[in-house]
């Protein structure tokens, strides 16, 4: 079947829609920089004495905060936690904490876990620790956040 000169397969996009609570659960880690004590350059201006002092003291490493989020695709119930790093062991430990939160809200099982292709989600230790609790682990295509937009926009 052709619509305006193109096959229908190119016109209609394929969407995966969660059918019930726990059907599709999205997990992602967001890396954000910490704001220095007293505020950064946006609070004081780029040419201010505080901003220039921060430039002079470049020997300090930039610190990051890792926000790990789990969102149910059907009910949009979200759980977010601050983590120290984004290693596989930390992410695996995080996976088990929101399950209790979700169970308290009636989501007792997870059918499909949707993640990106981060090294923490591709690790064998993450797969091994989650295998008993999910039916399938789906990873999105690299550099394609539109397939994973629910947790990326959160």
**Backbone phi and psi for residue 28, each to the nearest 5 degrees, phi listed first:** -155, 155
Among the listed residues 97, 132, 85, 94, the one whose alpha carbon sits nearest the alpha carbon of residue 115: 94
Q: Rounded CA gap, 139 and 37, in Å? A: 38
pLDDT digits (tens, 9 = 90+) for 30-58: 888 877 666 666 777 777 776 676 666 65
pLDDT of residue 94: 93
pLDDT digits (tens, 9 = 90+) for 64-106: 889 999 999 899 999 999 999 989 999 999 999 999 999 999 9
* Domain limits, the chain: 14-153
| End-to-end CA gap in the chain | 38
pLDDT of residue 102: 94
The two three-digit tokens of residue 20, written as one number: 């019930």
pLDDT digits (tens, 9 = 90+) for 52-62: 766 666 555 66
Whole-number CA gyration radius for the chain: 20
Kindly tell me if the per-residue pLDDT of 153 is higher than 70.
Answer: no
Q: Rounded CA gap, 41 and 33, in Å? A: 13
Confidence of residue 12 (pLDDT cuts 50, 70, 90): very low
**Can you give the pTM of this predicted structure?**
0.74
> Which residues on neighbouring strands pair with residue 112, listed in sequence order?
24, 136
Q: Which residues of 52-80 are buried (b: 16+ CB within 10 A; e: fewer)?
A: eebeeeeeeeeeeebebbbbbbeeebebe
Q: Rounded CA gap, 78 and 101, in Å? A: 9
Among the listed residues 84, 103, 81, the one whose alpha carbon sits nearest the alpha carbon of residue 94: 81
CATH number for the domain whose boundaries are 14-153 = 3.30.420.10
């Amino acid at each position: 079947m052709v619509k305006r000169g193109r096959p229908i397969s190119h016109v209609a996009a394929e969407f995966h829609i969660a059918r019930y609570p726990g059907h599709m659960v999205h997990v992602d880690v967001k890396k954000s920089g910490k704001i220095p004590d007293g505020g950064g350059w946006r609070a004081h201006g780029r040419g201010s004495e505080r901003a220039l002092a921060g430039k002079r003291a470049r020997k300090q490493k930039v610190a990051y905060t890792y926000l790990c989020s789990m969102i149910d695709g059907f009910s949009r119930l979200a759980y977010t936690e601050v983590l120290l790093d984004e290693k596989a062991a930390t992410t695996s430990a995080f996976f088990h904490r929101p399950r209790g939160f979700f169970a308290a809200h009636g989501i007792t099982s997870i059918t499909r876990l949707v993640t990106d292709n981060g090294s923490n989600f591709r690790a064998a230790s993450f797969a091994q620790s989650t295998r008993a609790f999910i039916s399938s682990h789906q990873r999105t295509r690299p550099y394609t956040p539109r397939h994973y937009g629910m947790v990326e926009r959160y």
